[in-house]
Amino acid sequence: MSRPILELRDVEKRFPGRAQPVLSGVDLAVREGELVAVVGCSGAGKTTLVSLAAGLLAPERGEILFDGHPVCGPGPERAVVFQSYSLLPWMSALQNVMLAVRASAPELGRSAARERAREVLELVKLGAAVDRRPGELSGGMRQRVALARGLAMRPRLLLLDEPLSALDALTRAALQDELARIRSATHTTTILVTNDIDEAILLADVVHPLTRGPAARLLPAIPIEIPRPRARTRMSLAPGYQRARRAIVAALGARSARARHDAEPRAGSDAARAAVAESAR
């Protein structure tokens, strides 16, 4: 097999004022052309994981490699689409995407940058809205612009940080299908973090469950053995879907139960004695 394009090796990340790390012992390998999904609950550290891979944060322990070289900061080869659209409100959709093009490919002239931005907006089906400002767009359309901005950089790795979580159910389902279509067209290596198990199964090649924090870690990859293209209306009947969903739920549930068990006071411990004394009052 080819060498992973991105590797996280025994990564730990801490923040000031917290007794325990947010992430600990995180190992991840992403190969060229893969779509890897990370599924975890809110607050588990998914955004922290994306920020580490993007080079926006540095780990306290371990190493992060991109194409075999240490990640020392952000770079245009790794584009990020966050939950918030972060579009400049005074600029049109085309101008917002052109900013990303000019930043990642300064050698391009203005007309070439404009053409690339138009091509990507067409790819996300916003060709008729290129001159609209963010205030004139729906939430789903704004997220398409944010996705177009990431794709316009032509990154080797696209990092998606719950990009659909703020959308209503119908818009989210429509954009999930669009993400599947765009990935089929571009074959961009992608990491998607989400709290939606079905979204991960629909889009990903493999899924890594992320345990609850603190000291969250990635559990072993669960392969999604469902042929593409995947139709959501029939996917739930596929044996591969049922196996993957059971495995993901079991992995997350087993870890959560173990964490609760570890947190319970033991007989003879200070916490247990305090609980008994309190109940006797």
Mapped onto helix, strand or coil, the DSSP state of residue 243 is helix
Range of the domain at 18: 6-72+198-280
Model confidence at 92, pLDDT cuts 50, 70, 90, reads very high
Buried b (16+ CB within 10 A) or exposed e, 180-203: bebbeeeebbbbbbbbbbbbbbbb
Summarize pLDDT for 115-157 with one digit per residue, the tens.
999 999 999 999 999 999 999 999 999 999 999 999 999 999 9
Q: What are phi and psi of 100, to 5 degrees?
A: -65, -40
Share of the chain above pLDDT 70, in %: 89
Residue 224 has pLDDT above 90, yes or no: yes
Q: Is residue 232 part of a domain?
A: yes
Q: pLDDT at position 279, please? A: 34
In a domain, 275, yes or no: yes
> Is position 121 within any domain?
no
- pLDDT for the residue numbered 166: 80
Give Cβ neighbours of residue 225 (< 8 Å, ≥ 6 apart): 240, 243, 244
With respect to residue 247, please indicate whether it lies within any of the assigned structural domains.
yes
Tell me what pLDDT residue 275 has. 37
Domain count, the chain: 1
d(CA 157, CA 151): 10
Gap between the terminal Cα atoms of the chain: 64
- The answer to whether 169 and 181 have CB atoms below 8 angstroms apart is no
Is 130 within the bounds of a domain? no
pLDDT for 255 equals 53
Q: What does the pLDDT average to over 60-67?
A: 96
pTM recorded for the entire structure? 0.87
User: What is the per-residue pLDDT across 235-250, written as a single tens digit (0 to 9) for each?
Assistant: 888 889 999 999 999 9
Question: Which pLDDT score is estimated for 264?
Answer: 44
Return the higher-pLDDT residue of 58 and 84.
Answer: 58
Note the pLDDT tens digit of each residue in 18-30: 889 999 999 999 9
Q: What are phi and psi of 177, to 5 degrees?
A: -65, -40
pLDDT at residue 271 in the model:
41
For residue 1, pLDDT over 90 is answered with no
Q: Does residue 207 form part of some domain?
A: yes
Per this entry, what is the length of the chain?
A: 281
Pairing label, strands 189-194, 157-161: parallel
pLDDT, tens digit, for every residue of 253-274? 865 444 444 444 444 444 434 4
Predicted local distance difference test score (pLDDT) of residue 273: 41
Position 22 in a domain: yes
Amino acid residing at 253:
G
Helix-helix angle 93-104:110-123, to 10 degrees:
120
**Neighbouring-strand partners of residue 216:** 23
Residue 227 pLDDT greater than 70, yes or no: yes
Q: What's the rounded mean pLDDT across residues 82-108? A: 92
Would you say residue 67 lies in a domain?
Answer: yes
